Amino acid sequence: MKLSPLQRLDIAVRQSMPVVVTLLLAVISVVPIGLPASSSLAPDIVLIAVFYWTVHRPDLMRAWTVFVIGMLSDVLSGTPLGVHPLVLVLVHTVIISQHKIFRGAAFGVVWWAFSLIAPAAHAVTATVAFVAADVAPDLSVLALRLVLTIGLYPALAWLLGRAQRALLAAV
Amino acid sequence: MKRPGPVSRFAAPIRLYGQRFAFLGLIAAAVGMMVLGKAETQLVERMRMVVVDAFVPVLDAIARPVATVNDLVARVGEVVHVHAENARLREENERLLKWQAVARKLESENRSLREILRFTPDAPVSFVSARVVGHAGGSFLRTVLVTAGERDGVAKGQAAVTGDGLAGRVTEVGERAARVLLLTDINSHVPVVLETSRDRAVMAGDNSERPKLLFLPSTARPEIGERVVTSGHGGVFPPGIPVGIIAAAGDTSVRVQPFVDFDRMQHLRIIEYGLGGTLQVSAPPPAPRRGRR
């Protein structure tokens, strides 16, 4: 079956949704929201989005797009350049390599996997930032942020799931 | 991967190698970025700010409604507390009127003493105001993005203040955006002086809420609640900007609670101080700063 240009455009737009949404979250994550300690404790929504899409639609969340997302995140947040690309590409690779576990897995399993990967990712981020740029994290803040990130996963995953069903069910 | 067909028997291994290669390439690129960031600080900073410049309008557009909601919430709170607030303001007004009388007297006295001494006045101070549109996320950085840059006269090293006091210093400047390193960041070092005892010190951030004082004289006995202001040493900050109050004065460390509420600030004034610009060109920032600039 041959597709008309409009149909192809429609599919392309739909398929770019995961990356666009994740880039948007990277921008949103640096906006100040005016809550106490929100700047340092804000959950890592970029990690959640990259994790979610790599688990559920690895065909639409490629390693190089993950790299670009990490770059934007670094540039906007002022993190030493290269830290987030490195960590996110590692996360992406780990998920891809364990893809059999995730295929058709229940939500609980995916969340459990996230709660294992997120601490590892943050530990690598902190270590790399320390080695690359001499910036040491406040460990208690790091731990609290991690708890908030894992806690937010179900809510954000639900939203992303809605978007996935609405736009990507057919493509 | 999704639809295994007859081709996949041959394609799959090739694809696997492709993925491995891409993975190694991307990791190498990321590490390369870090090395480049260390070796070519100026270049990387330029590149960063070009991207930030492009994104600042987007950030501004998102930050505005958020700020509006915050203002609304604050206003509701104000209405609830209007009575108590009114009483407090009356009291404060009374107290301030007394201070005004004192200040007038001191001002005239000061003027006549300056005339006698032929005192050179401080360099003139001008400033630009900017909206805070970005916070560094994460646990190891304390910086904000503001919507003023080179075209507004912002330059590296200038002080950023709110109505409450000093917030930080400009570290990266783009065309229409700038990054401000907050007092609490681990790379922040500010020469300060204790207001009553006139003991000098350097206030250094360590990514916690309360920066600590370094190089206090051993004879200094800082008291909790004592005000800390900028000393003006190094010529980067104008002297006398309020910084905070002593919050803890133990044997091992003295900590300062900044006046500025870093999570709630919506606008920053970037101060152009007469001396700062010229000193910045010839000398690096006053404090030893390792790593990220």
pLDDT in tens, A8-53: 888 888 889 999 999 999 988 888 776 666 667 788 899 999 999 9
Is-contact A86 A64, C-beta < 8 A?
Answer: no
Contact between B268 and B167 under an 8 Å Cβ cutoff? The reply is yes
| pLDDT tens by residue, chain B, 293 residues | 444 455 556 666 777 777 778 888 899 999 898 888 888 888 888 888 898 999 888 888 888 888 888 888 888 888 888 899 899 999 999 999 999 999 999 999 988 888 888 877 666 678 899 999 888 766 677 889 999 999 988 988 889 999 889 999 998 899 989 999 999 888 888 999 998 888 899 999 887 888 999 888 888 888 888 999 998 887 778 888 899 999 988 877 899 999 998 888 888 999 887 654 434 443 344 444 444 43
| Residue in A82, A96, A125 closest to B34 by CB | A82
In terms of Cα–Cα distance, which of A41, A69, A20 is closest to A149? A41
What pTM was estimated for this model as a whole?
0.78
Give the closest residue to B255 by CA, choosing from B222, B231, B219, B288: B222
Q: In this complex, do B27 and A89 lie within 8 Å of one another by their Cβ atoms?
A: yes
**Per-residue pLDDT at A36:** 66
Segment holding B272, helix H or strand E: strand B267-273
Do residue B34 and residue A72 have CB atoms under 8 angstroms apart? no
The average pLDDT across A157-161 equals: 94
Closest by Cα among A127, A114, A128 to A55: A114
B173: phi then psi, degrees, rounded to nearest 5: -125, 130
Chain B residue with CA closest to A27: the answer is B59
Residue B40: CA count within 13 A, CB half-sphere: 10
User: One-letter amino acid identity for A94?
Assistant: V
B58 with A83: Cβ contact below 8 A? no
**Which residues in chain A have their CB less than 8 angstroms from residue B41's CB?**
none
What size, in residues, is chain A?
171
Taking a contact as any Cβ pair under 8 Å apart, which residues of chain B between 218 and 247 contact chain A?
none
Mean pLDDT of A52-71: 92
This model of the complex carries an ipTM of 0.80
CA distance A32 to chain B (A): 6
Please give the span between the terminal C-alpha atoms of chain A, in angstroms, as a whole number.
Answer: 15
Distance CA A143, CA A43 (A): 11
Contact, A130 vs B292, CB < 8 A?
Answer: no
State whether residue B132 sits within 8 Å of chain A by CB.
yes
